[in-house]
Amino acid sequence: MPIRWALLHLLLLSTTTVLGASHISRSNNRIVNGIPIPIRDAPWQVSIQALGHHICGGSIISSKTIITAAHCVFYIPAILLQVRTGSKYWNRGGQVINVAQVKRHPNYGTNPTKNDIALVRLDKRLKYSRNSYRIRLAKETPESGAAASVSGWGLQKENASVGSRDLQMASLRIIDRATCQMSKYAVLGNKVAKGMICATSSASDACQGDSGGPLVVDNQLVGIVSWGIGCARKGHPGVYTDVALYREWIFKYMKRRE
With contact defined as beta carbons under 8 Å apart, do 256 and 62 qualify?
Answer: no
Report d(CA 72, CA 212) in Å as an integer: 7
Q: How many CA atoms lie within 13 A of 30 on its CB side?
A: 27
Q: 252, 173, 178: which is closest to 217 by C-alpha?
A: 173
Report d(CA 62, CA 59) in Å as an integer: 9
Task: Respond yes or no: is residue 54 known to be catalytic.
Answer: no
* Active-site residue (options: 47, 132, 211, 226): 211
3-state secondary structure 88-99: CECCCCCEEEEE
* Active-site residue (options: 116, 205, 210, 242): 116
**What is the identity of the amino acid at 44?**
W
CB-based burial of residue 51 (10 Å sphere; 0-12 exposed, 13-18 middle, 19+ buried)? middle
Report d(CA 84, CA 58) in Å as an integer: 10
Task: Respond yes or no: is residue 211 known to be catalytic.
Answer: yes
Task: Respond yes or no: is residue 236 known to be catalytic.
Answer: no
* Active-site residue (options: 71, 151, 205, 242): 71
**Dihedrals φ, ψ of 235, to 5°?**
85, 5
Residue 245, number of CB atoms within 10 A of its CB:
17
Strands (E), 30-167: 35-36, 45-50, 53-60, 65-68, 81-85, 95-104, 118-122, 136-137, 147-152
Q: Which residues are catalytic?
A: 71, 116, 211
